[in-house]
Amino acid sequence: MLRLGVQVSSAGKIYYSIDRALHLGCNTMQIFTRNPRQFRKGSLKKEDIEIFCKKIKESDLSPLVVHTPYTLNLATPKKFLHWITVKEFIQDMIEVDKIGADYIVTHTGCYKGTTEEKGLKIVVRGLKKILKKTEGVKTKILLENTAGSGTWLGYTFSHYNFILKELNFSERIGLCVDTAHAWCAGYSINTQEGIKNLLDEIKREVGIERICVIHLNDTREAFGSKKDRHFHIGEGCIGEEGFSLIINHPLLKDIPFILETPKKSEEDDVKNLNTVRRLYYNEVYKRD
């Protein structure tokens, strides 16, 4: 069964996001639980959490995915920023667990001001603290691959191998694979061979079973450009054939797909969702 959703606005009240996702015909969704471009200014109200939990339980939306704010940076060598990142990440973990989030997606961060190797060690140090302080939390942390622009970690899956080894391959850590990021990082996922190479690397470095969510995004940026810019499904460099191969791949077709495509209006989401559904049901692989 195709599990397909979008990044849904939670403006107004967090539980409004459920109605928005259902209106689009989604059966999974991703949200921000607070302003993604600001540090934490408060917490969700108890009554809002209760309404959210009741509404989502009555829906078919599963899994529930939350994305961390862009202000958090696990790799930063700046001591105060690292401290506030870890502190707010812990608070976010506890809060998203209350609304029943299955996953919280985060970028590994930017190591500007130090080296890549030291940046990875800083990420590990932060995640160790986060995991220790959230031992009772059921929400799983998903590390998202990046395009590799500038000094961002996560453009190669060997980074996640290092992190997981240092965390004793904790079962509380999984992977979110972003297609646009993978393309721009140099993975030719518009061909069967390219997808196989990507999956072989993931299998070798972290394990296919750790892929819990796929961010389904096209991009107009050139292959290996290291640029992070999303575009409408099938209208960029990955193209319809590439997405047909991805969403129908035997190892990927049962993983939830979340769209983070550009939107000027709801119609943009409708268009992209319909494209994915059409490509999924006109599959290129023969089902068992």
> What pLDDT was estimated at residue 288?
43
Residue 127's SS3 state is helix
Q: Write down the residue that tokens 């930063």 correspond to.
A: 76
DSSP characters for 14-57?
TTHHHHHHHHTT-SSEEE-SS-TTS-------HHHHHHHHHHHH
The residues spanned by each domain of the chain are 4-281
Bridge partners of residue 30, in order along the sequence:
7, 65
Question: What pTM does this model have?
Answer: 0.96
pLDDT confidence of 286, banded at 50, 70, 90? low
Which amino acid, residue 90? I
DSSP characters for 212-277?
EEEEE-B--SPTT------B-TTSSSSHHHHHHHHHT-TTTTTS-EEE----SSHHHHHHHHHHHH
Asked if the model's pLDDT at residue 284 lies above 80, the reply is no
pLDDT confidence of 282, banded at 50, 70, 90? confident
> What pLDDT was estimated at residue 198?
98
Burial grade of 129 (CB within 10 A; 0-12, 13-18, 19 or more): middle
What is the pLDDT averaged over residues 40-54? Answer: 97
pLDDT confidence of 281, banded at 50, 70, 90? confident
pLDDT digits (tens, 9 = 90+) for 209-247: 999 999 999 999 999 999 999 999 999 999 999 999 999
> What pLDDT was estimated at residue 134?
98
pLDDT digits (tens, 9 = 90+) for 141-179: 999 999 999 999 999 999 999 999 999 999 999 999 999
Look up the CATH architecture of domain 4-281: Alpha-Beta Barrel (3.20)
Asked if the model's pLDDT at residue 285 lies above 70, the reply is no
pLDDT digits (tens, 9 = 90+) for 112-126: 999 999 999 999 999
Q: Write down the residue that tokens 């991703």 correspond to.
A: 30
* Phi, psi dihedral angles at 122 (to 5 degrees): -65, -40
Q: Which long-range contacts (CB under 8 A, 24 or more apart) does 206-210 make?
A: 206/157, 206/160, 206/161, 206/164, 206/175, 208/251, 210/173, 210/174, 210/175
DSSP designation for 139 = P
